[in-house]
Amino acid sequence: MKGKHIAITGPTAGIGRTASLELARRGAQLTLLCRNPQKAAELQQEIIAAGGLAPAIVIMDMANLASVRAAGEALVAAGKPLDVLLNNAGVINVSRQETVDGFEETLAINHFAPFLLTGLLLPLLQQTPHARIVNVASDAHAFVKGMGFDDMQATRSYKTFREYGRSKLANILFTRRLAGLLQGQDITVNCLHPGAVATSLGTQNESIIARIVPYLLKPFFRSPLQGAQTSIYLCSSDEVATITGEYFVDSKVRKTKPWARDDAAAERLWRYTEECLGYTFPV
């Protein structure tokens, strides 16, 4: 990975942190896109202490579309070509919350923000040969049987695992459609399931359910190191240099649920996202 420039969201905890440390160890130049400046600075120093190149830090709040726009525009203004974009950050909420933009937070952070960021950074990816976009999705797309277009913002009812599952389904549909739109360009787009990983995901929820669920699931969790392996593989391996539009589990292509292969739903989601964001993706 020497000489490669990688931008990663959610790099300061869980699989994002593990992937950042490993990719930096392999010689990559990282740009850390994160909300917390202190945690970013701590990770930056850890990478340097381990012999990695000093990563750049760009502060970005994925729950705030203006912040995502500002971060993307700052990277474009800096003009450094981008080899890999790893859309890693995610959230799960036990109750319905809205962002400052008025969107249901799970969908906004897990889908709207990476959609917008990817579009903004596409010109940088187009400047490098064999560029890659890697989206962290999840087998949680099996929790649902479609996007639920009749209540996308979960205003009529909110169910934790349903909304999370839909947001992860959105990641897969986004990957599938973007890969198709970029056919003929030297950019691959893939997504992955990291496994049930013992990370900080969900710990922002201050409720008894938020404390009990991780305890009940702990025996089934992978370590962040195990969970990060497929992300690292998709960012770095020559084996996937020409593979695009696929879903990976344990560094192997896996078949998704039928509703994650619904091209009509992918197109509808794309249009809905652009309308909500007031943004036209540059493809």
Cβ–Cβ under 8 Å, residues 165 and 144: yes
**Tokens representing residue 221 in the block:** 């969790």
Q: Which of 158, 164, 272, 279 is catalytic?
A: 164
User: What does the alpha-carbon distance between residue 121 and residue 28 come to, in Å, rounded to a whole number?
Assistant: 18
9 SS3 class: strand
Q: Quick check: is 233 catalytic?
A: no
Say how far residue 5 (Cα) sits from the centre of its chain: 17
Q: List helix spans (H) across the chain.
A: 14-25, 37-49, 65-78, 105-107, 113-125, 160-181, 208-217, 224-236, 263-277
Give the Å distances, CA to CA, from 225 to 16, 21, 33, 54, 231: 10, 10, 20, 22, 10
User: What does the alpha-carbon distance between residue 113 and residue 104 come to, in Å, rounded to a whole number?
Assistant: 12
Q: What's the helix, strand, coil split of the chain in %, to 5?
A: 50, 15, 35
Catalytic positions: 164
